[in-house]
């Protein structure tokens, strides 16, 4: 095996401190798969939650620049009982990929991935099943959630405006004296100019470009009030 597999095995051992039932089931030079019972035991708003889920987690050799795929094996979670927060192949829609990649860059471990994204997702599912509401701030599924993420990045409340601002990272010569696409009434140089340039100059520029092309031709884009 190679350095990637050796590193993953060390990380799996660390992950087993909190999730002892997850075990390696296959490994190659480019992919490691772990599978087993994932235990959720926590208290939320003074209410205890305790359950377990059968998961399969696939990590490729580009981790942490790519996000592990987490699959729920027993079909307890469906698009119909968790507000579309799962794909048809039972891969969990944990969070916006770009947000996960940025956070994993600062802590590139399976334990962090588990604690920061997998555990809250499953706890949120248990809470939602009992109460019918999400316990955390939650993005929508798919492209709508992606644009909600950029609404937060740019501090705007309209997905159309967020898409327009994101598109500026592809335009090196958008005039700074033009009105800002966020329709604030300010000149671009006095509004979102610095925010857009920070994204363009970021080490994650490739992710931002990928996200823009994901949403650029989305047919339901309409200006929102």
| CATH number, position 105 | 3.10.110.10
pLDDT tens for residues 113-158?
Answer: 999 999 999 999 999 999 988 877 777 777 888 999 999 999 999 9
Cβ burial of 168 (10 Å; 0-12, 13-18, 19+) is buried
Q: Please tell me whether residues 123 and 188 are part of one structural domain.
A: no
CA torsion, ordered 197, 198, 199, 203, to nearest 10 deg: 120
Q: Which of 131, 166, 181 is the last residue of a domain?
A: 131
Mean per-residue pLDDT of the chain: 91
Residue 222 belongs to a domain: no
Return the percent helix, strand and coil in the chain, to nearest 5: 40, 20, 40
pLDDT of residue 219: 54
Residues 6+ apart with CB under 8 A from 225: 158
Q: Are 90 and 71 in contact (CB under 8 A)?
A: yes
Measured in whole angstroms, how far is the alpha carbon of residue 103 from the centre of its chain?
10
pTM of whole model > 0.85?
yes
Stated length of the chain: 225
Do 108 and 152 lie in one domain? The reply is no
CA distance 58 to 97: 15
Is residue 54 a part of any domain in this protein? Answer: yes
Q: Is the pLDDT of residue 220 over 90?
A: no
* In the predicted structure, residue 1 carries a pLDDT above the cut 70: no
Q: What is the pLDDT of residues 13-29, one digit of tens each?
A: 999 999 999 999 999 99
Is residue 181 domain-resident?
A: yes
Is 60 a domain residue? yes
| 163-208: pLDDT as tens digits | 999 999 988 778 889 999 999 999 999 999 999 999 999 999 999 9
- Into how many domains does the chain fold? 2
Residue that finishes a domain, picked among 131, 162, 195:
131
Q: Are residues 22 and 111 in the same domain?
A: yes
- Shared domain check, 159 and 122: no
Is residue 220 a part of any domain in this protein? no
Model pLDDT, residue 218: 60
Are residues 160 and 60 part of one domain? no
Residue 221: its pLDDT value, please?
45
Residues 55 and 113 in one domain: yes
Q: Does residue 224 sit within a domain?
A: no
The last residue of one of the domains, among 110, 131, 152, is 131
The per-type count for the chain, helices as H runs and strands as E runs, is 8, 4
Nearest to 53 by CA among 28, 71, 80, 68: 71
**Residue 201 sits in the same domain as residue 108:** no
Q: What is the pLDDT of residues 24-65, one digit of tens each?
A: 999 999 999 999 999 999 998 889 999 999 999 999 999 999
- How far, CA to CA in Å, does 134 sit from each of 64, 124, 130, 142? 28, 6, 10, 17
Q: β-pairing, 69-72 with 47-60?
A: antiparallel
Q: How far apart are CA 87 and CA 116, in angstroms?
A: 20
In a domain, 137, yes or no: no
Query: For residues 214 and 69, which has the higher predicted lDDT (pLDDT)?
Result: 69
> 207 and 118 share a domain?
no
**159 class by beta-carbon count within 10 Å (0-12 exposed, 13-18 middle, 19+ buried):** buried
The answer as to whether 221 is a domain residue is no
Q: Do residue 48 and residue 82 come from a single domain?
A: yes
Which residue range forms the structural domain that includes residue 205?
A: 142-215
């Amino acid at each position: 095996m190679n350095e990637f597999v050796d590193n993953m095995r060390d990380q799996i051992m660390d992950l087993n401190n909190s999730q002892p039932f997850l075990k390696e089931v296959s490994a190659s030079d480019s992919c490691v798969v772990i599978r087993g019972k994932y235990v959720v035991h926590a208290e939320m708003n003074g209410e205890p939650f305790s359950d377990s889920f059968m998961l399969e987690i696939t990590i490729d050799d580009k981790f942490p620049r790519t996000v592990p795929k987490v699959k729920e094996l027993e079909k307890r979670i469906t698009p119909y009982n968790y507000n579309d927060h799962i794909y048809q192949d039972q891969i969990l829609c944990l969070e916006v990929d770009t947000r996960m990649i940025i956070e994993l860059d600062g802590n590139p471990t399976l334990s962090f991935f588990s604690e920061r994204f997998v555990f809250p997702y499953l706890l949120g599912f248990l809470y939602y099943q009992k109460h019918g509401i999400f316990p955390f701030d939650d993005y929508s599924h798919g492209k709508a959630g992606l644009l909600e993420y950029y609404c937060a990045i740019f501090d705007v409340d309209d997905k159309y405006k967020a898409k327009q601002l994101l598109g500026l990272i592809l335009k090196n010569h958008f005039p700074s004296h033009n009105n800002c696409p966020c329709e604030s009434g300010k000149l671009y140089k006095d509004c979102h100019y610095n925010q857009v340039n920070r994204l363009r100059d970021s080490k994650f520029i490739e992710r931002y470009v990928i996200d823009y092309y994901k949403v650029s031709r989305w047919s339901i884009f309409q200006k929102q009030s």
